[in-house]
Amino acid sequence: MVESRKGSLVVVGTGYRVAGQTTPEALHHLKKSDVLFYLVYDPITERWVRSLNASAVSLRKYFRQGRLARDCCNAIVDRILRSLRLGLNVCAAFSGHPSVCLNPSHDALRRARSEGFRTKMLPAVSSVDCMFADLGVDPVGSGCHVLDASAFLVYSHKPVTSSDLVLLQVANLGKKSVVTTNDMAKVRLLRRVLEKSYPADHPVVLYEVAVNPLVHPRIQRVKLSTLEEQEISFSTTVYVPAVK
C-alpha cells in the first residue's frame, strides 16, 4: 500500500450558468484550495472562477490546434501533479461534470492516488442533466443509452430503438488531434449507421447547453436524414428519441 503523502487533489465540476449550478461543497474547495486549476469555456464563468481564488490557473493553453488530444491530456495532468508534489491542496475544476468525457480528470486522480496522495471527485451538473431538463425527458421512462459518438461507431454499438440514445462529442468523431473544423463526412457516416436502425425521417434533436444565464440552450429538431446538413459544434449533443 502506498504511503499517504502531504497534499491532496479534489476534482470538481462547475456545472453551467456560471455560479448557479456549482454545489456548496465544490464551492468550498474552489475557494479554499492552495492552488486552483480550471478548464471552462465561457468567459463569464472564467471571470467568476478567477474571482474565487487568487491562485487560479487556466489549463486552456494546453489545448493547441493540431496537437494530439492525448498529449493535451498528459500536459494538463503533469501540470496538476507538479503542484501536488509540492505538498499543496489542489483543486481542479472543469465545466459540467468532471467525470463525463474528461480524460484529464480521471488520469489526474489515478496518477495522484498511485503516488500516495489523498484524492476525491465531487458530483456536478452535466450537459446531459441539463438536456433532460430542457427537453422535459425522463431518462428512466423507456431507458436511455449515453455514449461517446466515436465509441458508438468504433465499437459498432447497435441501438436499442425502444430506448432513447444520447451521443456526445459528435464534432470529435474519429479525431485524435485538437481541431476546430468539422468533418461532415464522419457525421454522414454516423447518419448512415443510425439509419440502419431508425427511419430516415426519424426526429432527432441537436442540443447545446446554455453555458450562462444570458444565452438559451440550442434545441434544434431535425430529421435524421438531414444530420450532416446541420451545424455541429464542439458542444453539440445528438439526442435520438425512442421509436414509438
Distance CA 62, CA 16 (A): 22
User: What pLDDT, in 10s, does the model give residues 94-134?
Assistant: 999 999 999 999 999 999 999 999 999 999 999 999 999 99
233 three-state secondary structure? coil
Q: Do domains 8-121 and 127-240 have the same CATH topology?
A: no
CA nearest neighbour of 87 among 153, 146, 24, 7: 7
CB atoms within 10 A of CB 91: 28
pLDDT at 160 over 60: yes
pLDDT higher for 139 or 41? Answer: 139
pLDDT at 1 over 70: no
CA nearest neighbour of 67 among 182, 179, 235: 179
Q: 0.85 exceeded by the pTM?
A: yes
241 three-state secondary structure? coil
Query: In the CATH hierarchy, which top-level class contains the domain 127-240?
Result: alpha beta
- Parse the chain into domains and list their residue ranges: 8-121, 127-240
Q: What is the DSSP pairing of strand 203-208 with strand 144-148?
A: unpaired
Q: Which residue in the block uniquely carries the three cell numbers 425522463?
A: 138
For the domain bounded by 8-121, which CATH number is listed? 3.40.1010.10
Burial class (CB in 10 A: 0-12, 13-18, 19+), 100: middle
User: What pLDDT, in 10s, does the model give residues 131-157?
Assistant: 999 999 999 999 999 999 999 999 999
Residue 94 cell numbers, joined: 472543469
pLDDT at 92 over 60: yes
pLDDT at 64 over 70: yes
